[in-house]
Amino acid sequence: MTISDLKQSPSDSVKSKINWSRIEEADDFANTVKLFRQGKYDEDSFRRYRLQHGAYGTRMTSDYAMVRIKLPAGEIYPDQIEKISQLSEQYSIGSGHFSTRENIQLHWVILEDVSEIFRGLAEVGLTSREACGNSVRNVMCSPLSGVCPDEEFDATPYALATAKFFLRNPMAQNLPRKFKFNFTCCEKHGMVRMVDVGLIPQIREIDGTAQKGFKIFLGGGLGNKSFVGHQLEEFTPEEDLLYTSIAVMRIFDRMGDRKNLARNRMRYLVNDMGWDKFQNLVLKERAVVRATQSVITKLKVDHTPDIIKRPIRISDEDGGETTPDGYARWLKTNTVKQTQEDYRSVFLTLEAGDITASQLRGLADIIRNFSSEGKGRSGFSQNIALRYVHEDDLTRLYSKLLEIGLAKSGALTMTAPIGCSGTTSCNLALTNSHRLAKEIQRKFLELKLDEDDDLSDSSIKISGCPNSCGQHGIATLGFFGGGGRVGKYMYANYQMSIGGRSDGDTMLGQTLLRVPAKRVIPVILKIIEIFKANKKPDDTLKSWINRVVNGNEDSEIKSIVDIKKILEPLIIPPTMDEDPDFYLDYGSDSSYHTKTGKGECAA
């Protein structure tokens, strides 16, 4: 008997306890679009309205939108995945896209159809409300929260409660700029120093009793100019979590720069004011908030534990079953052991976050049949994890993933690069960063670089312009797009940085040199070669690059300048006659030129 014969019927698959949607927003959106098309709603107000509801503009056209669906704390349930699959075929391009902030995006949606997507999302309790615009963006939580061996407690319920508190909350409808919360499990797995508010769960012994709370980091963030967040205080007890969040937002709301759109994220306020002053203000404001909020203003943290139930299987089919090819490699590069004995979390390798409608359908079934918690968790790197997979079910899970083309290895290694949407849909893009990420992945998997332990803790992240949606600043090897020129010909050219990281020692990468798009792969391979020639036995690429950028390396490579010297011959542009392909960006067969439209990041 096979699993599919025994699969739980959709009715007993786990459903979200929280309904994030409001069906009336669909009608309202449809009507507003009509008024806008009739000229009864001015362009600027409409744009704000649209963004507040989670719909971005699209490259070079006002006919299409991108709908960003929020997955608070990254949680996604099988019925939601199936609905998104259907919506992608009906209103988008037949694929969905996992983003770096636990959203799923549908691109190239006709503006008039956006309300139909809202309607479909409401059937499964999802929303895109406040996924864009000057509001509290999707509240993230580490995909390993609750299963991470290094965490003190599971922050997921707190992330969900925070999301619930601020969604549609009047105090968060018109902030000076977008505002982001990231909860994590431990130092290693989060990105708490690269966000407006980052939180690590902590347990403190106070007067003999264990007290839950958080380490809170404020004022970090990536962008055209990036900053690392500051820790507010030693320990923030859980009762103060909401008061602290409100206090920070009130200060930002009052004092944030509403005029200069390019410098209005909270990190600029913190930077201009100085951390000590900002910290003081927050602590004072928190005292005021604590004294003035009604007793009913609380985070409604739901502590009911999830039911962990291994999906039923009657007979044991293990006898005689052969382990499919590639299993060991996949097991090593895509799964992690959980705190809970006998269970693993499994990360799926996607290509720059893209997944087809039929893969989504298959994935929903796979979650029902293999995850003992019955849901998926999206991650930080354009991917999704299934957790609570029993060790004994892993080979069978792998076979099922093979069937739907989702069994590629390397999810947790450097061979799964991040690429923002770039010229595939973004108005500000200068290069096709999305395709470049896919090209690197294909090449590196072919070279089996995912199996190389020296490379697994490194990362490659690519943005299509300096705006950092691809998070290049915190990558071991980071790239952002621009244009280069030889005489009258232009080519896609990336600014490369190395040594960025987002863990306990968060730092931004240092500028290395500009690399033409068609030379990015050879340049990375060359860096790996230099590293291999100079590494110490215990080094990983990440630790070695760290020594180099910090000036602590004692091999013949003393600094970033030495690496640059070796790479320079690789980046010399050939003439058009020698290599016309050099002048085409990935995914394009016409000559490269930069072309951008109006960006909406600050809207």
Partner 1 sequence: MCCLTGTVKITTDVDSLRSEIRDKSVRVIDVRRESDYKQDHISTAVNLPLANLLSDDSPERVLKLVNSMGIDDETSVVVYDDTFGALASRVAWTLEYLGHSDVTLLESTYSHWKSLGLENDSDTPEIQSKEHSMKLKSDILATSDYLETAKTRDDVILIDNRERLNFLEQHIPGAISLPYRTLASDDKILRSKEDMKRLLDNRGIAGDSEIITYCGSVGTLSGLAYYALKSAGLSNAKLYVRSFKEWKNLQKPTQKQEDASYWDLSAE
Instruction: Give the binding site for ligand SF4 (CB under 6 A).
Output: 420-422, 426, 428-429, 433, 463-465, 467-470
135 or 425: CB nearest partner 1: 425
Per CB under 6 A, 218 contacts ligand HEM: no
Burial class (CB within 10 angstroms; exposed 0-12, middle 13-18, buried 19+) of 108: middle
105 or 115: CB nearest ligand SF4: 105
77 or 491: CB nearest ligand SF4: 491
CB of 465 to ligand SF4, least distance (A): 3
Alpha-carbon distance of 453 to 601, in angstroms, equals 38
Q: Give how far the C-alpha of residue 512 lies from the chain's centroid of Cα atoms, to the nearest Å.
A: 25
213 or 229: CB nearest ligand HEM: 229
- Residue from 47, 83, 180, 396 touching ligand HEM (CB under 6 A): that is 180
The sheet with strand 343-348 has its strands ordered as 75-76, 376-378, 384-390, 343-348, 335-337
The interface partner of residue 463, options being ligand HEM, partner 1, ligand SF4, none and the CB cut-off 5 to 8 Å by kind, is ligand SF4
178 or 368: CB nearest ligand SF4: 178
Per CB under 6 A, 109 contacts ligand HEM: no
69 or 406: CB nearest ligand SF4: 69
Reference 525, options 461, 440, 399; nearest CA is: 440
User: Which residues ranging from 541 to 600 are in contact with partner 1 (CB under 8 A)?
Assistant: 585-588, 595
84 membership: H or E segment, kind and range: helix 78-91
In sequence order, the 6+-apart residues with CB closer than 8 A to the CB of 217 are 192, 193, 195, 197, 198, 199, 200, 229, 230, 231, 232
Amino acid sitting at position 91: Y
91 or 480: CB nearest ligand SF4: 480
The interface partner of residue 464, options being partner 1, ligand HEM, ligand SF4, none and the CB cut-off 5 to 8 Å by kind, is ligand SF4
In sequence order, the 6+-apart residues with CB closer than 8 A to the CB of 603 are 47, 48, 51, 132, 133, 134
- Residue from 160, 282, 350, 474 touching partner 1 (CB under 8 A): that is 350
Asked if 156 contacts 148 with a C-beta cutoff of 8 angstroms, the reply is no
Residue 255, token pair as written in the block: 């004092």
Asked if 207 contacts 187 with a C-beta cutoff of 8 angstroms, the reply is no
109 or 563: CB nearest ligand SF4: 109
- Residue from 47, 83, 101, 193 touching ligand HEM (CB under 6 A): that is 101
The interface partner of residue 245, options being partner 1, ligand HEM, ligand SF4, none and the CB cut-off 5 to 8 Å by kind, is none
The interface partner of residue 471, options being ligand HEM, ligand SF4, partner 1, none and the CB cut-off 5 to 8 Å by kind, is ligand HEM
What is the b/e burial string over 290-319, where b = at least 16 CB atoms within 10 angstroms of the residue's CB?
eeeeeeeeebebeeeebeeeebebeeeeee
Per CB under 8 A, 30 contacts partner 1: yes
Helix residue ranges per DSSP H, 219-322: 239-255, 266-273, 275-292
**Phi, psi (rounded to 5 degrees) for 496:** -105, 140
The interface partner of residue 222, options being ligand SF4, ligand HEM, partner 1, none and the CB cut-off 5 to 8 Å by kind, is ligand HEM
Stretch that binds ligand HEM, among 79-87, 100-108, 247-255, 453-461 (CB under 6 A): 100-108
354 or 450: CB nearest partner 1: 354
455 or 469: CB nearest ligand HEM: 469
CB of 178 to partner 1, least distance (A): 23
CB of 124 to ligand HEM, least distance (A): 19
The interface partner of residue 438, options being partner 1, ligand SF4, ligand HEM, none and the CB cut-off 5 to 8 Å by kind, is partner 1
Per CB under 8 A, 99 contacts partner 1: no
Neighbours of 35 (CB within 10 A): 11
Stretch that binds ligand HEM, among 155-163, 217-225, 293-301, 478-486 (CB under 6 A): 217-225
User: Which residues ranging from 459 to 488 are in contact with ligand HEM (CB under 6 A)?
Assistant: 467-469, 471
Per CB under 8 A, 76 contacts partner 1: no
**Phi, psi (rounded to 5 degrees) for 73:** 60, 10
Alpha-carbon distance of 230 to 198, in angstroms, equals 9
CB of 63 to partner 1, least distance (A): 9
102 or 373: CB nearest ligand HEM: 102
87 or 160: CB nearest partner 1: 87
Residue 457, token pair as written in the block: 């803790």
Alpha-carbon distance of 313 to 205, in angstroms, equals 43
Alpha-carbon distance of 403 to 99, in angstroms, equals 24
In sequence order, the 6+-apart residues with CB closer than 8 A to the CB of 443 are 521
**Phi, psi (rounded to 5 degrees) for 539:** -70, 145
Per CB under 8 A, 36 contacts partner 1: no
In sequence order, the 6+-apart residues with CB closer than 8 A to the CB of 385 are 143, 144, 345, 346, 347, 348, 376, 377, 378, 379
The interface partner of residue 61, options being ligand HEM, partner 1, ligand SF4, none and the CB cut-off 5 to 8 Å by kind, is partner 1
- Residue from 6, 23, 60, 288 touching partner 1 (CB under 8 A): that is 60
Reference 101, options 495, 468, 426; nearest CA is: 468
- Measured CA to CA in angstroms, residue 119 lies from 87, 346, 418, 548 at distances of 10, 31, 31, 53
Per CB under 8 A, 131 contacts partner 1: no
Asked if 172 contacts 136 with a C-beta cutoff of 8 angstroms, the reply is yes
Alpha-carbon distance of 113 to 65, in angstroms, equals 9
Residues that bind partner 1 (CB under 8 A): 30, 33-34, 37, 58-61, 86, 89-95, 97, 107-108, 110, 112-113, 115-116, 350-351, 354-356, 359, 421-425, 432, 434-435, 438, 585-588, 595
Residues that bind ligand HEM (CB under 6 A): 56, 66, 99-101, 103, 105, 180, 195, 222-224, 420-421, 426-428, 467-469, 471, 599-601
